[in-house]
Amino acid sequence: MTTPVVLEVITELDGHRARFEEFCRSLSPEELDRQAPKSTWFVRDFIAHLATIDIPVGEMFRAIHRGENAGMRTPDGARVDIDNWNEQQVVERRKAGVESLLEEAARARRELTGHLKALTEEDLARTLKFAGDSKRAAAEIPLGAYLRGWCKHDPMHAIDMCRALPHWQSELAPWFDDPVVQGYQRAMNK
């Protein structure tokens, strides 16, 4: 039986993804090709990122549930540099259409949701070791707490997209009005 915390996370994920898909489908080709300020990515690249990141995150959830090492690793056992991995995924999909990216995202999300549903209360209490990235230091956090922030990934990146699309900011402001989303933006945009 899926835990109440995980059910809440899935509900929030689904709501954010529906809003994100609606936003992405409304963008013109010109808007999709704008470069986001303070980033090397174009608006479309954030869609590609969200289409692919659920794959390693889902594998992390699977590994935690099985009691395995939850870090992303290369075939030879070395830690994966998540920034490089993300960049590679984005560049490989730079010419993909929005519908193709959203279909890829839906497939990855279905698989991730299956891994989420398997998580137990014991899994949620386990400590997750975040290796850090180019903007944030390494940290340890209980998986349950991580999930409550991570499930806001779509609006976090929709804000990044809106830096190149300022005319969308007022319309999407209520979606972005969340302390976790705002905290993420402060941390990533110092």
Q: Model's pTM, two decimal places?
A: 0.91
Residue with tokens 């590609």: 48
pLDDT of 73 reads 64
CA angle (79 as vertex; 74, 81 as ends), nearest 5? 95
pLDDT of 190 reads 73
pLDDT of 171 reads 94
State the Cα torsion 158-189-74-144 to the nearest 10°: -70
What average pLDDT does this structure show over 69-92?
Answer: 79
pLDDT of 76 reads 67
pLDDT bracket for residue 141 (50, 70, 90): confident
Answer yes or no: is pLDDT of 77 > 70: no
Is the pLDDT higher at 70 or at 177? 177
8 Å CB contact between 90 and 53: no
8 Å CB contact between 33 and 42: yes
Answer yes or no: is pLDDT of 130 > 90: no
- Listed in sequence order, the residues at least 6 apart from 141 whose beta carbon sits closer than 8 Å to its beta carbon are 127, 128, 130
Alpha carbon distance 160, 91 (integer Å): 17
What average pLDDT does this structure show over 102-129?
Answer: 95
Mean pLDDT for the chain overall: 91
What average pLDDT does this structure show over 172-188?
Answer: 90
